[in-house]
């Protein structure tokens, strides 16, 4: 199952049941909940006192999805190899030799889905029908209807980025199905109903409300906007539909937030309106293509916004620019803050990744950028976004080990960069760069010590390389001290450091000034 933070696969729901009528005060401002300011409105015409009739109509279109898989695992080595007990251990699958041979085992997965056409197209989550582990292969997919009829399903298309998949089953008679609705009309507080197969228990119905819309779960990539619900969602609900009270599918249950693996009232669904074009592409057997800018992105935290003197929750900062990529060709630089794409503001709800991904490969987009406190416009021609695995290969990297020489071993000792931020640095030499595993093209100063009582002490570590402070390149401790002093004089609460940590570069971190 999928996890957001501690996420496991799940379901969500959306709908409306009752409304509140707000009376606007004619003159003086009064409390929002002043007696008489709010009156409970009668349920709209046709709103049910019970969900039973609606569920009876919708439930036949919700299905159970199961897979059979083969998983190749490394067999445990025989601890008794070379002893009289070696052959005995081998009888139980350990092998008679000193090393364990790979073995193939059977596996299964369970989830939910729903029919979207009478001729058997089924929507579910990609992770429901994907291999469950490294070395696993999916042998077959089975769709089971409410009447317990089973059908072998063919995988028509999958999109791991959005976690959506489309299957096809063949039936001699038309099948019950439901339509995707307009999720943009969902409001916080609307009633929603979820139908799925939690823990393989068969058709299970839960109800709740929309807890939030445009919810980000902090996942990387261009698809991180969900509908949040408190309807009970558990493992096995993944891929099932979230209905509003009109019986429209407004979400596809995808994840839950949980520390135990069970429902705690925080579930997430893929909005139907965003899923529609993706599903339409998959049903044709085509691959979903998204725009790509070739940059690494960091969200604007309060600390980073304060260091740059910018409003929070507006824009995202460029941490890395892929050489020769669309962003580099457009003139983007590390440290630029992109605040809008084609006039649409970059916000926590509409991220830079999602806005770029929605652009057709080959098209031109206009970037509104803040650089060194000044706003400017750049134009970029986006290319086709690589797969998530390809992007991970381009940007991945582990923290390098601390290869800094001690003061007695180095010709250059660490010097206090600034007592105002609590770090001591020294110039980055080729020898130190090799020791740290840092690319030879990186320039800057390397952190030799941090004051554990400072904000930097909680964020930086020995061996971090600082290339720039507040977008100004630094090569010596004096450079750092000068820029920090200027920020302090200007009343800035923090400074923004451009870091390289091991093989990971383009990391921006705000450090508070004492």
Output the six-digit token pair for 345: 């503001």
Whether 53 is a known active-site residue: answer no
* C-alpha to C-alpha distances, 170 to 29, 178, 319, nearest whole angstrom: 62, 17, 49
Catalytic one among 163, 303, 336, 455?
163
Catalytic residue among 238, 254, 418, 467: 238
Rounded CA-CA distance 181/227 in Å is 14
Q: Where are the beta strands (DSSP E) in 189-230?
A: 191-196, 204-215, 226-229
Cβ–Cβ < 8 Å for 444, 464: no
Among residues 66, 112, 127, 190, the one annotated as catalytic is 127
Burial 144-154 (b: 16+ CB within 10 A, else e): ebeeeeebebe
Distance CA 303, CA 285 (A): 45
**Cα distance from N-terminal residue to C-terminal residue, the chain:** 44
Whether the CB-CB separation of 7 and 258 falls below 8 Å is answered with: yes
DSSP string, 219-242: -SSS---EEEE-S---TT-TT-EE
Task: Show the tokens assigned to 39.
Answer: 């009156």
Do 252 and 276 contact (CB within 8 A), yes or no?
Answer: no
Distances (CA, A) of 367 to 155, 252, 469, 482: 38, 32, 24, 32
Query: What b/e sequence results for 427-446 when a residue is b if at least 16 CB atoms lie within 10 Å of its CB, and e otherwise?
Result: bbeeebbebbbbeeeebbbb
Residues 6+ apart with CB under 8 A from 494: 303, 306, 307, 455, 487, 510, 511, 512, 513
CA distance 477 to 424: 8
Residues in the chain, overall count: 514
Determine whether 127 is an active site residue.
Answer: yes
Contact at 8 Å (CB) between 87 and 136?
A: no
Q: Which of 353, 362, 465 is nearest to 404 (CA)?
A: 465
Burial class (CB in 10 A: 0-12, 13-18, 19+), 86: middle
Kindly list the catalytic residues. 127, 163, 238
């Amino acid at each position: 199952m999928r996890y957001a933070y501690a996420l496991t696969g799940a379901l969500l729901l959306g709908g409306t049941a009752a409304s509140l009528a707000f009376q606007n005060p004619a003159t003086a401002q009064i409390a929002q909940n002043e007696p008489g300011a709010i009156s409970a409105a009668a349920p709209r015409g046709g709103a049910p006192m019970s969900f039973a009739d609606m569920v009876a109509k919708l439930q036949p279109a919700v299905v159970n999805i199961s897979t059979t898989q083969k998983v190749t695992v490394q067999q445990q080595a025989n601890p008794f190899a070379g002893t009289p007990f070696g052959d005995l251990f081998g009888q139980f699958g350990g092998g008679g030799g000193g090393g364990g041979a790979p073995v193939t085992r059977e596996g299964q997965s369970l989830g939910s889905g729903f029919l979207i056409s009478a001729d058997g197209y089924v929507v579910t989550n990609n992770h429901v029908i994907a291999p469950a582990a490294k070395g696993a292969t999916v042998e077959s997919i089975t769709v089971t209807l409410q009447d317990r009829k089973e059908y072998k399903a063919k995988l028509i298309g999958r999109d791991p980025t959005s976690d959506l998949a489309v299957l096809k089953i063949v039936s001699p008679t038309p099948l019950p199905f439901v339509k995707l609705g307009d999720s943009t009309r969902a409001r916080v507080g609307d009633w929603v109903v979820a139908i799925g197969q939690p823990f393989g228990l068969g058709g299970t119905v839960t109800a709740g409300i929309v807890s939030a819309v445009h919810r980000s779960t902090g996942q990387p990539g261009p698809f991180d906007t969900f509908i949040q619900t408190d309807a009970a969602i558990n493992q096995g609900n993944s891929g099932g539909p979230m209905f509003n009270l009109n019986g429209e599918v407004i979400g596809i249950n995808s994840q839950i937030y949980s520390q135990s693996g069970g429902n705690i009232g925080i579930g997430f669904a893929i909005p139907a309106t965003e899923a529609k074009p993706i599903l339409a592409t998959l049903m044709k057997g085509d691959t979903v293509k998204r725009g790509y800018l070739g940059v690494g992105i960091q969200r604007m935290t309060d600390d980073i916004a304060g260091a740059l003197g910018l409003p929070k929750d507006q824009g995202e900062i460029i941490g890395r620019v892929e050489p020769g990529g669309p962003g580099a060709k457009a003139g983007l630089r590390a440290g630029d803050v992109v605040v809008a794409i084609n006039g649409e503001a970059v916000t926590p709800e509409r991220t830079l990744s999602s806005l770029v991904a929605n652009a057709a490969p080959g098209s031109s987009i206009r970037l509104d950028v803040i650089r060194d406190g000044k706003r400017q416009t750049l134009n970029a021609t986006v290319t086709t976004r690589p797969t998530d695995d390809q992007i991970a290969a381009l940007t991945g990297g582990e923290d390098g080990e601390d290869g800094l020489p001690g003061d007695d071993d180095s010709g250059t000792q660490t010097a206090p960069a600034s007592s105002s931020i609590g770090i001591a640095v020294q110039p980055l030499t080729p020898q130190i760069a090799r020791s740290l595993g840092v690319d030879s093209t990186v320039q800057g100063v390397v952190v030799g010590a941090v004051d554990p009582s400072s904000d930097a002490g909680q964020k930086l570590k020995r061996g971090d390389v600082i290339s720039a402070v507040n977008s100004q390149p630094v090569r010596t401790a004096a450079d750092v001290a000068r820029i920090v002093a200027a920020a302090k004089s200007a009343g800035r609460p923090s400074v923004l450091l451009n870091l390289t940590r091991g093989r990971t570069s383009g990391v921006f971190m705000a450090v508070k000034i004492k």
